[in-house]
Amino acid sequence: MQQSFSYLREILTTLTGAAILAAGAVLAVRTRAFHLRHLGEILRRTLGAAVRQGRGGKGRKNLTAFQAACAAVGGTVGTGNIAGVTAAVFLGGPGAVFWMWVSALLGMGTKLTEIVLAVRYRSVRDGKSSGGPMYYMEKGLGRAFRPLAWIYAAGGGLACFGIGNLVQSNEVAGAAEALLHVPRPLTAGLLALIVGTVLLGGAKGVGALAEKLVPVMAAFYLLCGGAAMLFHPRLLPLFAGKVLTGAFGWQAAGGGFCGAALAAALRQGLTRGVFSNEAGLGSGALIHGSAGGEPMEQGLWGVFEVFADTLVCTVTAFVAVSSGVADTPGGLGAFASPGDAAAAAFDALLPLPAGGTVVRISAALFAFTSILGWCVCGEACWLWLGKGGRKTAAVYRLVFTLALIPGALGGAARLWALSDVLNALMALPNLLALLLLSGQAAAIVQSAGTFDAKPARKRRNL
pLDDT of residue 305 exceeding 50, the answer is yes
pLDDT tens, residue by residue, 94-148: 888 888 888 889 899 999 999 999 999 988 776 677 889 999 999 999 889 999 9
| Residue 32 placed within a domain | yes
pLDDT of residue 336 exceeding 80, the answer is no
Higher-scoring residue by pLDDT: 241, 71: 241
Q: Name the pLDDT band for 431 (thresholds 50, 70, 90).
A: very high
| Residue 282 placed within a domain | yes
**Who contacts 416 (Cβ-Cβ below 8 Å, separation ≥6)?**
87, 167
pLDDT of residue 216 exceeding 60, the answer is yes
Residues 244 and 250: their CA atoms lie apart, in Å, by 9
| Residue 2 placed within a domain | no
Counting Cα atoms < 13 Å in the Cβ hemisphere of 399 gives 13
How confident is the model at residue 218, as a pLDDT? 86
Q: Name the pLDDT band for 457 (thresholds 50, 70, 90).
A: very low
The amino acid sitting at 144 is A
| Residue 450 placed within a domain | no
Residues 311 and 81: their CA atoms lie apart, in Å, by 10
| Residue 150 placed within a domain | yes
- Count of domains forming the chain: 1
How confident is the model at residue 453, as a pLDDT? 45
How confident is the model at residue 167, as a pLDDT? 81
How confident is the model at residue 91, as a pLDDT? 80
pLDDT tens, residue by residue, 339-363: 788 888 888 888 665 667 888 888 8
| Residue 449 placed within a domain | no
CATH of the domain at 419: 1.20.1740.10
pLDDT tens, residue by residue, 249-283: 665 444 445 555 556 666 666 666 666 778 888 88
How confident is the model at residue 460, as a pLDDT? 42
Residue of 416, 371, 413 whose CA lies nearest to 169: 371
| Residue 336 placed within a domain | yes
Residue of 26, 29, 70 whose CA lies nearest to 50: 70
pLDDT tens, residue by residue, 157-204: 988 888 788 888 888 888 888 888 889 999 999 999 999 999 888 777
How confident is the model at residue 206, as a pLDDT? 85
Question: Once rounded to an integer, what is the mean pLDDT over residues 307-334?
Answer: 86
Range of lowest pLDDT (127-131, 214-218, 235-239)? 127-131
Question: Once rounded to an integer, what is the mean pLDDT over residues 227-250?
Answer: 86
Residue ranges making up the domain that contains 336:
8-443
| Residue 452 placed within a domain | no
* pTM of the entire predicted model: 0.85
Q: What is the mean pLDDT of the chain?
A: 81
pLDDT of residue 459 exceeding 50, the answer is no
